[in-house]
Amino acid sequence: MDLIARIAAIVGEKHVFVDAEAQAPFLTDWLGKYRGAAAAIVRPGSTEDVAAVLALCAARKIPIVPQGGNTSMSGGATPDMSGRAVVLSLTRMNRVRAVDPVGNTMTVDAGVVLAKVQEAAKAAGRFFPLSLGAEGSCTIGGNLAANAGGVAVLRYGTMRELTLGLEVVLPDGRIWDGLTALRKDNTGYALRDLFIGSEGTLGVITGAVLKLFPQPMARATAFVAVNDASAALALLSSVRARSGDRLTAFEFMTGDCLSLILKHISDARLPLGAPPPAAVLIELSDADDELELTGRLESALVEAAEADIVLDAAIAQDGAQSKAFWRIREGVSQALVREGKAAKHDVSVPVAAIADFVAAADAAVTAAAPGVRPIVFGHLGDGNLHYNLLPPVGLGDTEFAALAPGLTHIVHDETRRRRGSISAEHGIGQLRVSEMPRCKAPIELELMRSLKGLFDPDGLLNPGKLLPGPAEN
């Protein structure tokens, strides 16, 4: 019996796609940057299905590319063009297995869409805080594979901090059942943390125990105009001093970024008139009375204005206004796509170094490519900036594509000088794999390759992603 027939016997014939039309949605990444080919698209319905498929493929040395919602920003879920790989789509595995409102946990399949997890938590009177632009289509397995962050990392942390236990199928088909809800367990190496952020190169995550939190009953949101990133950092310190861990989000956007949003997003409205030099979107949340929370935010902004940190500010008076403020921030990615090709960078630096990084990177890239347009936004409170570069006006896509690698090296060099990371929340995938030797110490790459060799000696899981060089066979 051939491979496809044996896989069909495991998952069901209707869940194995071999014709080009059925495969097409699974073979191009979300941004349309990468395209691949596959022997088959396979949609398992259970952890046991995944284990059986992996065991079969391991025996025949067939590569496996795990895929969730196919929303990767780095080509991390797209196969290469060889056509040898089996793409393992986990979207059928979409059960919320259990919700424990006493222990504040939820156990889910890896293929559950993030928005469904949020809704299930809310139905139980609880809150799951991960929130990002693709939440209506990205899956928990993908969020775990990339250690997703989003807008609430400042208060709640990344997926690594939001996860207690995992269920993982190893490359040879064995199942590791680590679905523990324990918050304390010091019985050796934290295997869970190896798989989170590994981009499907060490094992296929099939289930997770997630942390839940009390449902916030009150929110206070403000859109604040500032001069630059230095002023935004000063404002962050002021608001944090007043609000403590009630500070949930602190999002930064430059004036050029705001202008781009107004140009392309018809339903985005700035509450303060013309675009300021820069702006911050602030949100506090708590179980307290909303008036008390709004008072805290207002006091912090008044104090900052008196210190000449704030140029102007608007506090949302109701949920509709808060949603309108967030629409501005949510429109950035869409506006960038509509503007055209951009060199995208997802970096993190120590929070105190953000203003210095932005100034240095702006100066360096404009010196290398006069007229290049930095569009800078991101999660300033946790040090994560999306530093994107649009081509000089009038420069064609081909010419800009030739400049982009050199500009990326400049941005990443400035990141490295501040002991930062070239991937804060989007993963390495295919996009940044060639940059790893420049940005990781040899000993780090050696240790990572050793782990890859231990878990996946034949290099069958998600080949060509995350690790450059000899780890992939």
Residues of the chain with pLDDT under 50: 471-473
pLDDT in tens, 84-109: 999 999 999 999 999 999 999 999 99
φ, ψ for residue 55, nearest 5 deg: -65, -40
How many helices and strands, by DSSP H and E, does the chain display? 16, 18
What pLDDT is attached to residue 316? Answer: 96
What pLDDT is attached to residue 290? Answer: 86
Which of 67, 164, 133 lies closest to 346, judged by CA? 133
Question: Which amino acid is it at 18?
Answer: V
Give the tokens for residue 384.
């994560």
Domains defined for the chain, CATH in brackets:
3-89 (3.30.43.10), 96-214 (3.30.465.10), 218-333 (3.30.70.2190), 340-417 (3.30.70.2740)
C-alpha distances in Å from residue 187, one per residue of 84, 184, 190, 376, 404? 40, 9, 8, 43, 47
Q: Check: CB of residue 290 under 8 Å from CB of residue 364.
A: no
Q: What is the pTM of this model?
A: 0.93
Question: Which amino acid is it at 127?
Answer: F
What pLDDT is attached to residue 439? Answer: 92
What pLDDT is attached to residue 1? Answer: 57
What pLDDT is attached to residue 472? Answer: 38
C-alpha distances in Å from residue 381, one per residue of 95, 149, 281, 367, 425? 33, 12, 11, 29, 14
What span, in angstroms and rounded, lies between the C-alpha atoms of 294 and 283?
10
What pLDDT is attached to residue 30? Answer: 86
DSSP state of 87: E
Bridge-partner residues for 377, per DSSP?
A: 253, 386
Bridge-partner residues for 186, per DSSP?
A: none
What pLDDT is attached to residue 133? Answer: 86
